[in-house]
Amino acid sequence: MTATATRVLVLNSGSSSVKYQLIDMNDGTRLAVGLVERIGEQTSRLAHTPLAAGGDKRETEGAIADHDAALKAVAAELAADGLGLDSPQLAAIGHRVVHGGLKFTEPTVIDDAVLTEIERLVPVAPLHNPANITGIRTAQAMRPDLPQVAVFDTAFHATMPEYAARYAIDVETADAHRIRRYGFHGTSHAYVSRKTAALLGKDPSEVNVIVLHLGNGASASAVAGGRCVDTSMGLTPLEGLVMGTRSGDVDPAVTFHLKRVAGMSTDEIDVLLNKKSGLIGLCGDNDMREIRRRIDEGDERARLAFDIYIHRLKKYIGAYSAVLGRVDAVAFTAGVGENAAPVREAAVAGLEEMGMAVDASLNAVRSDEPRLISPEYARVAVAVVPTDEELEIAQQTYALVNA
């Protein structure tokens, strides 16, 4: 790496998509952002926005066979703007890796041994880690000389005490199969809890925060003095809150019942709980905008889905208040948390005795900036804090390669 290398390319490789951002670490400026979708289909799409060049979004459609082809297409787009992967200004590539197991609790420079270890975690993250691994291998092949860093979704939750991380099941069985609560969305929980402390003018070590990451996937975390002490997702991202398509918490016996009584296979149950449950299973829509529109039209199913979503959220706010003992702030983030004022209002409604309230006019303000939405008298700060997982990955990557 040369002294002029101040750029980090962040890659988030999903099963059929690659999201990327090229960020200048001098000031966090986005030089280019983009997305390849529907990889492996005839209708793949690449959308690339060269922000540095002030250019408009360029979209290309047509079959992109695999991640290798996708990354090559991305590299070509970047090169067309003079931002190619061969640039000496590129300091590193930061990869989002979903599951780091117990081994990876910090961002890690990827070598063969690290890659083997990430592969060993595939059984606990079958939907995510394989795509992350493909992305890493492809990027390594393109720039073998460049540091590639893995930033793990689970890492921030590694500080959970053993009594929060363990399920109350037979210890030998659990350990033999690495069954425990790992938590996900950690990059977002880390970033948002820190930003929330900054919004309060405090050091992260001084504040206790409940972070509610409400996107299509959703999770809550209890962060005490900058360290995660509990989180709602578990062995996989299925546990916890009601999500766009995932059930969140259910009695585990629901799965035996579906198998024994409904005659469903394990794979069918997996699909049911991960893809056909949550908001979409309850009312047929997983977009909160559409659900609110239907509620305004008097749709009862949409109303019930919303109420179930809010009830679960409220239970976690209550639980994490008890876990933390003292709560300084509740922070809403991600697509729903940042945009859906009715969700924020309903989640906090009736919690005045716990020091939590939302001011209707502050809650109605739309902004990309972190902001308070609680009235001045409230003991607990309620905040909207936009997440930025890509910037967090870039910062962790850059800090590591400069260490």
Binding segment for ligand ADP (CB under 6 A), chosen from 39-47, 213-221, 258-266, 295-303, is 213-221
Q: Tell me the site size for ligand ADP, rule CB under 6 A.
A: 13
CA–CA distance, 111 with 272 (Å, rounded to integer): 37
Q: What are phi and psi of 367, to 5 degrees?
A: -165, 155
Annotated active-site residue in 81, 153, 328, 388: 153
Which residue among 215, 248, 355, 386 contacts ligand ADP (CB under 6 A)? 215
Instruction: List b or e across 334-369, with b for residues whose CB sees 16 or more CB atoms inside 10 angstroms.
Output: bbbbbbbbbbbbbbbeebeebbbbbbeeebeeeeee
Given the complex with ligand ADP, which of 283 and 336 has the nearer CB atom? 336
Site string for ligand ADP, 232-261 (x = CB under 6 A): ------------x-----------------
Report, in Å, the least distance between residue 338 CB and ligand ADP: 8
Regarding 335 and contact with ligand ADP (CB under 6 A), the answer is yes
Question: Could you tell me if 161 and 191 are in contact, meaning their C-beta atoms sit under 8 angstroms apart?
Answer: no
Question: Could you tell me if 239 and 248 are in contact, meaning their C-beta atoms sit under 8 angstroms apart?
Answer: yes
Report, in Å, the least distance between residue 256 CB and ligand ADP: 29
The amino acid occupying position 283 is: C
Given the complex with ligand ADP, which of 8 and 288 has the nearer CB atom? 288
Residue written as token pair 């360290």: 227
Residue written as token pair 């350990």: 175
Question: Could you tell me if 167 and 174 are in contact, meaning their C-beta atoms sit under 8 angstroms apart?
Answer: yes
Regarding 346 and contact with ligand ADP (CB under 6 A), the answer is no
Which residue among 120, 202, 289, 293 contacts ligand ADP (CB under 6 A)? 289
DSSP string, 15-64: SS-EEEEEEETTTTEEEEEEEEESTTSTT-EEEEE-TTTTPPPEEEES--
Q: Quick check: is 86 catalytic?
A: no
Regarding 334 and contact with ligand ADP (CB under 6 A), the answer is yes
Q: Residue 326: count other Cβ atoms within 10 Å of its Cβ.
A: 11
Given the complex with ligand ADP, which of 83 and 358 has the nearer CB atom? 358
Give residue number: closest CB to ligand ADP: 335
Report, in Å, the least distance between residue 53 CB and ligand ADP: 26
Which residue among 8, 310, 336, 385 contacts ligand ADP (CB under 6 A)? 336
Alpha carbons within 13 A on the beta-carbon side of 284? 5
Regarding 94 and contact with ligand ADP (CB under 6 A), the answer is no
Report, in Å, the least distance between residue 25 CB and ligand ADP: 23
Report, in Å, the least distance between residue 116 CB and ligand ADP: 29
Report, in Å, the least distance between residue 306 CB and ligand ADP: 11
DSSP string, 334-365: HHHHHH-HHHHHHHHTT-GGGT----HHHHH-
Question: Could you tell me if 203 and 328 are in contact, meaning their C-beta atoms sit under 8 angstroms apart?
Answer: no
Given the complex with ligand ADP, which of 21 and 148 has the nearer CB atom? 21
Which residue among 216, 245, 255, 274 contacts ligand ADP (CB under 6 A)? 216
Comparing C-alpha atoms, which of 191, 309, 184 is closest to residue 248? 309
Which residue among 165, 192, 238, 340 contacts ligand ADP (CB under 6 A)? 340
Strand partners, 219: 213
Which residue among 100, 135, 183, 217 contacts ligand ADP (CB under 6 A)? 217
Instruction: List b or e across 79-101, with b for residues whose CB sees 16 or more CB atoms inside 10 angstroms.
Output: eebebebebeebbbbbbbbbbbb
Regarding 339 and contact with ligand ADP (CB under 6 A), the answer is yes
**Helix 300-324 and helix 341-348: axis angle, to 10°?**
60
Footprint of ligand ADP on 259-288 (CB under 6 A): 286-288
**Interface contacts to ligand ADP, rule CB under 6 A:** 215-217, 244, 286-289, 334-336, 339-340
Residues labelled as active-site residues: 153
